[in-house]
Each structure stands twice: as structure tokens, then as C-alpha cells.
């Protein structure tokens, strides 16, 4: 197909305007002219190889990063070196929001596969946002949405048992993939069991057992990292009454 495009299309500067996750990312709701001004901030996209860090705790905040291709985990290290995964991030999602607080990154970001991000120089972003109210509003909303997401995680950690947490995790991932045009029923987990466990406040063995339970109920089929959701409604019902004791 590429031959129908003018050759120089291959050399177009990295830009939001021609990005596949335009409508999910920072530019949400911006008009054409506004997106073009945002484009001036994206100097060049950056590739991140599987397993390598995009940034680490303590690194000074230079840019926020929009995931373009691939996926990331963000994690904090406890005093004794234990890892706590704080999030998984797929295309169209923003990395580094927690760094604004103290001008340095408060977590690590690792690529779960070969990936690509759009660095957005934060000082420039703030400056541009002064003149683009809708961009500023988007940034506020992005930050607020992360807070809402974290509160849901707290509720998950505080109120759900292991099977419910796993079901919630799978449904959430399914939905986010679906929005991006991927199948909501068939997808591949890019992270290890241990990382899922850390994210959900469980041990990796408990994740394995949870997978077995969901399989035994005919809700999902998971072999290795391949997921097939067989009974979406059943999974959702598992969460409908997420509680420890009936009544």
C-alpha cells in the first residue's frame, strides 16, 4: 500500500496529526490548528527496546511520554527492594504524570516489548497550554483520570478477593484494547505472572490459581500469555457483587 503515498511521507516529521492513537491521546478534542501547534512539541519519537527503562525513579522530569506502539509497566521499589507495579500502559496512554509533583520521576517505566513513545517536553507543554485552553484542560483531565484510576485500584485492593481482582484486571485490559481497535476477546499478555501479581497485590502463584479457577468456570481460556475470553458476561457478573461475604 505504501507506494500510493508520496515518497516523502516516509520522512514526515513525527507528529500527532498522523498518529494512529490521535483520538485517544493528549490531543483529544483539539481542532486541526491546535493539534498542529501541539506537533511542534514532539521533536522526535523514541524507540525503547523490550526490558529497558524509559526512565527511572529520581530521573529529572524532562518530558512526559505518550505510548505510541507497544506497552510499558511502571513500578516503584520499596525500601527493601520489593517491586510494586503501579500500572500497565498501552498506546495512547501517558507516562510520567507522577513526575510533575516534584520535578523528578517517582517510578520506573520499563518496556514490556519493543515499543515507541512520543516525548513531550513538559516545560514547553505548560507554555503552550497557556495559549491553548483546551490543551490545558486535557492535561488536567488526564491527571484527574489517573487519580480516578488509582482510586479504583485502591478499592480493588481493599475489597476484592484474588479471583475478582484477576477478573477485573482482564476485563479492564480487554476494554482498553477494544477501544484501540483490537479484539476484546483475544489478546496477549505482555507481562509476566509476577508482574500481574504485584499490580493486583497478590503472589504469582495466586495468579496462576486464579487463572485455573476462571478456566474451570469456563470464563476464560489462558494458555501461557494468550488470553481468550469465553464468557464476557460471566466475568462481569463475577465483579457485579465484589465483596468478601454475601450479605
Residues of the shown chain interacting with its own copies in the complex, contacts defined by CB under 8 A: 76, 78-80, 82, 84, 86, 97-102, 106-107, 126-127, 129-130, 133, 136-137, 139-141, 143-148, 150-155, 157-159, 198, 201, 239-243
CA angle in degrees (0–180, nearest 5) for 24-30-31: 125
Cross-strand bridge partners of residue 104: 60
Kindly tell me which of 98 and 164 has the beta carbon lying closer to DNA: 164
209 makes contact with DNA (CB under 7 A): yes
One symbol per residue from 143 to 172: x for binding DNA (CB under 7 A), - otherwise; what is it? ------------------xxx---------
- Residue 70 has φ and ψ, to the nearest 5°, of 95, -150
Interface residues for DNA in 212-231 (CB under 7 A)?
A: 212, 222-225
23 makes contact with DNA (CB under 7 A): no
98 binds, among its own copies, DNA, none (CB under 5 to 8 A by kind): its own copies
CA distance readout (Å), 158 to 104, 152, 195, 205, 243 = 29, 10, 19, 20, 10
Q: Which of 185, 119, 195, 106 is nearest to 146 (CA)?
A: 106
204 makes contact with DNA (CB under 7 A): yes
Q: Which value, in Å, is the radius of gyration of the alpha carbons in the chain?
A: 19
Kindly tell me which of 107 and 220 has the beta carbon lying closer to its own copies: 107
Amino acid at each position: 500500500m505504501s507506494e500510493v503515498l508520496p515518497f516523502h511521507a516516509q520522512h514526515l516529521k513525527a507528529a500527532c496529526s498522523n498518529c494512529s492513537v490521535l483520538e485517544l491521546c493528549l490531543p483529544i478534542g483539539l481542532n486541526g490548528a491546535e493539534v498542529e501547534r501541539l506537533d511542534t512539541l514532539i521533536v522526535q519519537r523514541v524507540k525503547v527496546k523490550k526490558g529497558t527503562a524509559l526512565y527511572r525513579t529520581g530521573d529529572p522530569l524532562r518530558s512526559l511520554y505518550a505510548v505510541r506502539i507497544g506497552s510499558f509497566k511502571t513500578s516503584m521499589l520499596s525500601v527493601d527492594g520489593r517491586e510494586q507495579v503501579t500500572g500497565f500502559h498501552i498506546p495512547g496512554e501517558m507516562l510520567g504524570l507522577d513526575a510533575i509533583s516534584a520535578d523528578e520521576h517517582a517510578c520506573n517505566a520499563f518496556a514490556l516489548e519493543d515499543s515507541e513513545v512520543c516525548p513531550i517536553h513538559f516545560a514547553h507543554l505548560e507554555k503552550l497550554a497557556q495559549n491553548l485552553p483546551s490543551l490545558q484542560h486535557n492535561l488536567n483531565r488526564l491527571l484527574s483520570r489517573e487519580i480516578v484510576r488509582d482510586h479504583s485500584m485502591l478499592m480493588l485492593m481493599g475489597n476484592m478477593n484474588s479471583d475478582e481482582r484477576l477478573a477485573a484486571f482482564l476485563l479492564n485490559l480487554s476494554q482498553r484494547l477494544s477501544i484501540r481497535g483490537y479484539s476484546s476477546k483475544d489478546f496477549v499478555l505482555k507481562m509476566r505472572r509476577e508482574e500481574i501479581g504485584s499490580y493486583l497485590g497478590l503472589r504469582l502463584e495466586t495468579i496462576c490459581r486464579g487463572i485455573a479457577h476462571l478456566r474451570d468456570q469456563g470464563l476464560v481460556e489462558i494458555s501461557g500469555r494468550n488470553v481468550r475470553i469465553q464468557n464476557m458476561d460471566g466475568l462481569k457478573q463475577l465483579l457485579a457483587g465484589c465483596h468478601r461475604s454475601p450479605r
